[in-house]
Amino acid sequence: MDTDRLAPLRDAITRLWQAHGRETPLEGLYLTSVSAPTGPIHAVYRPSLCVVVQGAKISMLGDRAFCYDAGKCLIASMEVPIRAEITEASPERPYLALSLGLDPATIAELLLETGETAAPPTSPALAVHDLGAELLEPLCRLLGLCARPHDLAILSPLIRREITWRLLNGPMAPGLRQIGLAGSPAARLGRSIAQIRARFAEPLTIAALAEVAGMSPATFHRHFKAVTAMTPVQYQKQLRLQEARRLLLSDGADVARVGYAIGYESPSQFSRDYRRMFGAPPGRDAVAIRKGLVPQTP
H runs (alpha helix) in 21-73: none
Reduced 3-state DSSP string for 243-275: HHHHHHHHCCCCHHHHHHHCCCCCHHHHHHHHH
Beta pairing partners, 58: 67, 85
pLDDT value of residue 254: 80
Asked whether 170 and 131 are in contact (CB, 8 A), the reply is no
CB atoms within 10 A of CB 76: 25
Work out whether strand 41-45 and strand 64-69 pair parallel, antiparallel, or are unpaired. Answer: unpaired
Q: Percent helix, strand, coil in the chain (nearest 5)? A: 50, 20, 30
Asked whether 188 and 214 are in contact (CB, 8 A), the reply is yes
Work out whether strand 64-69 and strand 80-88 pair parallel, antiparallel, or are unpaired. Answer: unpaired
Q: Cα–Cα distance between 6 and 136 in angstroms, integer?
A: 8
Residues 6+ apart with CB under 8 A from 27: 101
Work out whether strand 126-130 and strand 56-61 pair parallel, antiparallel, or are unpaired. Answer: unpaired
The tens-digit pLDDT sequence of the chain (298 residues) is: 555 899 999 999 999 999 999 999 999 999 999 999 998 999 999 999 999 999 999 999 999 999 999 999 999 988 999 999 999 999 999 999 999 999 988 988 898 888 766 666 678 899 999 999 999 999 999 999 999 999 999 999 999 999 999 999 988 888 888 777 766 777 788 889 989 988 889 888 999 999 999 999 999 999 899 889 999 999 999 999 999 988 888 766 688 889 999 999 898 999 999 999 998 888 888 787 766 644 444 3
- Angle at the Cα of 193 (from 176 to 249), degrees rounded to 5? 105
DSSP secondary structure letter of residue 5? G
Asked whether 187 and 120 are in contact (CB, 8 A), the reply is no
Report pTM.
0.86
Q: Is 200 left (phi over 0), alpha (psi -120 to 50) or beta?
A: alpha
